Amino acid sequence: MRSFQLNSLLALTLTISVISCSPEKKIQKSFKFAKYEKVISYYKNVLKKQPNNPKASYYIAESYRLSNRIKEAEPFYAKIKGRGSRKDSVGLYYAKSLQANGKYDEARKELDDLVNSSEDENIKDRAQKELKGLDYLARLTEKKNYYRVKNLEALNTPFAEYGPAYSNSLLYFASSRANDRIYEASGTPFTDLYQVETKGANVDLVTLKALPANINLPNVNTGCITFSPDGKLMIFARGNSGKRKGGADVDLFLSRFRNGQWTDPVAININQPNSWESTPALSPDGRTLYFSSNRKGGYGGLDIYSAQMDSRGRFGKAKNLGPDINTAGDELFPYMAENSKLYFSSDGHPGYGMLDIFVVNRSNGKNSIDNLGPTVNSTGDDFGMYLFKPDRGFFTSNREGGKGDDDIYTFVNDDPNLKVVNYLLAGVTYSLRKDSTREILPDTKISLLDEGGDVMQDFTTGNDGKFLFRVYENENYYLLGERDGYLTKRQKFTTVGKSVPLESLKELVTNITLDTLLVLDRKAKNVAFRLNNIYFAYDKADINPDAAHELDKLVQLLNDNPEIKIEMGSHTDSVASDSYNIELSQRRAESTVNYLIRKGIDPKRLEAKGYGERVPIARNTNPDGSDNPVGRQRNRRTEFRILEIGPAVKKTDDFDEEKYFKEKEKEKEKEKDDNN
């Protein structure tokens, strides 16, 4: 039933250049609206009379491919390969159909021909990637595989069963077992959602039942379901009526379990008009939704996206998971396991021909995409991974030897070295009282950023100020805190050197919690913020490396808070005359301002002020008149304070830095002349 997942939008928007003259309008219309069974039946009758008709073979091959039966498309692609203006794409799909049927040597030959003859760079690139994939499969077959796989025969029927999800001792799945209405894209019945009580992989068929009528609608495909950790919120996919007045695509819907029943589902705000959203999966903490979509701006076909969910069930902006995971092919059925490993299915990564299941393994800040190997994967479609324990779970496959269409399978991972370590970063947000003591700061948005500054996770603290993130060993992060009335703050955190050796662990699952805190400063005028390590050589105003490092932090703060204008204030101790110290501190303050300007801060946001020795924060001398070196050191400081809070200001692209500093030098020279 992958056809439900892949063909709704195609049903209404597919336009195509055919090899020769257009077919009859009725069949053209059927193809346009994804009634592929009608198209196949019609053109098979044409081939009985005209065995070499390329148009008929083309439409049959494409109809099989677009309804996810590319294995059956192979002989028809073989007949038309090399003919007409679409020969390169036909050649690619022919190679894919050979691969889906396990004919890897023949597929390699077709791909080699494409690489050597195609003038289409996109086709050539895909062919080269497919060739690398075949090499990868050869190496993968040699690796030890610890998965034991078994058909869940008690549950499966000759119809489709797919998309398993587990919640509160219930196994949920989609099936076409009870429908007699046919979905014209695939020639198979529509699907509904079911539930059955289960202990692990042992299902109690007496408890099997369909979800209520407000979830399963007649003559509409319903499938692919996910739940919040407490099981009281579910998100599922619905669409593909196949009718003119039916749904134009597949959308995601949300329902809550209240008063013993599921509420009427509502379409979630992540859906986009005229695009396909399906295969949802909530993260273990219930805060992130992963899903697949063919919306604009992706990498081709279906891509996997993520979106953060707030307490009201509203989602933030969807984020594409990027080119490490998404390809020119299809990526779908994401699933985030308790160990924070992302599983998904793809026909774009190196696989056995159709959809294979992959896992994202993360190490030292980098992702590797690994095929689960020939036990879990086959030349059929393998998808819908779900783990109910770290070493066992369910998935779906239409491989040979099953009971009919898609079947649900169980698996056990017997890897003797399988150890799961979950690293958690737990923190608390604070603000400072006037007496510099801390108090909890609630309702603060905390973002976990990777070392490159990209957002990985978001969290909004409650009244306890607490936040929690999943992190990985040997990585560097930033915590970004944001709250109205406070300065946005960015703070480093690292797990380097904090990992636990796997050989020391006895349990299958170990949770390691790392603690931190984040203190936000109030966004208030005329409050001084001291900068550490801003030291200058005697009688100098040059920025040394330590000072530059500290000023770079201020650059980041100013970039994170573009609405503030600040004064850079420099202070001295009481050595030398007051007038001399005023002049020296002014030069030092201007030096820090110039550094910030060169780092991209708009000059309009900055003022330099030298205070000399006039605003001490400690005694320069002791009560007996002797020198107080500690006090003098405290007084030799650089601070900033907020002068204005207004609209965001950023330096414009046409700002001429060289011209700016030349004009400042002229102003200084003129001031000297006037004083003389």
Q: How confident is the model at residue 541 (pLDDT cuts 50, 70, 90)?
A: confident
The total number of structural domains that make up the chain: 4
Q: How confident is the model at residue 187 (pLDDT cuts 50, 70, 90)?
A: low
**541 and 516 in one domain?**
no
Identify the domain boundary among 483, 503, 520. 520
Identify the domain boundary among 498, 520, 542. 520
Give the percent of the chain with pLDDT over 70: 91
**462 and 380 in one domain?**
no
What are residue 258's phi and psi, to 5 degrees?
-135, 135
Give the percent of the chain with pLDDT over 90: 55
Residue 600 lies in a domain: yes
CATH number at residue 667: 3.30.1330.60
**372 and 350 in one domain?**
yes
Taking residues 470-486, what's their average pLDDT? 94
Q: How confident is the model at residue 21 (pLDDT cuts 50, 70, 90)?
A: very low
Taking residues 172-199, what's their average pLDDT? 81
Q: What is the pLDDT of residues 285-333, one digit of tens each?
A: 898 999 999 999 999 889 999 998 877 778 989 999 999 999 988 999 9
Residue 590 burial class via C-beta count within 10 angstroms: exposed 0-12, middle 13-18, buried 19 and up = buried
- pTM beyond 0.85: no
Q: Which of 629, 636, 620 is nearest to 536 (CA)?
A: 636
Residue 594 lies in a domain: yes
Q: What is the pLDDT of residues 111-169, one digit of tens each?
A: 998 898 888 888 888 888 889 888 888 888 888 899 999 999 999 999 999 999 999 99
Q: By residue range, what is the domain housing residue 458?
A: 420-520
Dihedral sign, CA of 52, 58, 61, 64? negative
Q: Which amino acid is at 410?
A: T
Rounded distance between C-alpha atoms, residue 66 and residue 69, angstroms: 7
Q: What is the pLDDT of residues 194-212, one digit of tens each?
A: 999 999 889 999 999 999 9
Angle at 191 between CA 190 and CA 196, to 5 degrees: 155
Residue 399 lies in a domain: no
**545 and 475 in one domain?**
no
Q: What is the pLDDT of residues 575-626, one digit of tens each?
A: 889 999 999 999 999 999 999 999 999 999 999 999 999 999 899 999 998 9
**302 and 166 in one domain?**
yes
Q: How confident is the model at residue 241 (pLDDT cuts 50, 70, 90)?
A: low
CB-based contacts of 261, cutoff 8 Å, min separation 6? 212
Widest Cα–Cα separation across the chain: 116
Q: What is the pLDDT of residues 548-570, one digit of tens each?
A: 999 999 999 999 999 999 999 99
**507 and 534 in one domain?**
no
Residue 150 lies in a domain: no
**Residue 597 has what pLDDT?**
94
**281 and 202 in one domain?**
yes
Residue 285 lies in a domain: yes
Residue 272 lies in a domain: yes
**240 and 118 in one domain?**
no
Q: How confident is the model at residue 9 (pLDDT cuts 50, 70, 90)?
A: very low
Residue 408 lies in a domain: no
Q: What is the pLDDT of residues 334-390, one digit of tens each?
A: 999 988 899 999 998 998 888 999 999 988 778 899 999 999 999 899 999 999 999
**367 and 235 in one domain?**
yes
**569 and 505 in one domain?**
no
**515 and 532 in one domain?**
no
CB-based contacts of 640, cutoff 8 Å, min separation 6? 528, 529, 531, 554, 566, 567, 568, 569
**Residue 245 has what pLDDT?**
44
CATH number at residue 8: 1.25.40.10
CATH number at residue 470: 2.60.40.10
Identify the domain boundary among 340, 374, 389. 389
**201 and 296 in one domain?**
yes
**Residue 675 has what pLDDT?**
64
State the chain's mean pLDDT as an integer.
Answer: 87
**Residue 6 has what pLDDT?**
44
**Residue 186 has what pLDDT?**
58
Task: Render 601-612 in DSSP notation, one character per residue.
Answer: --GGGEEEEEEE
More confident residue, 637 or 84: 637
Task: Please report, for residues 285, 352, 597, 659, 662, the alpha-carbon distance to residue 666 in angstroms, rounded to integers and kept in the order given.
Answer: 60, 71, 18, 11, 6
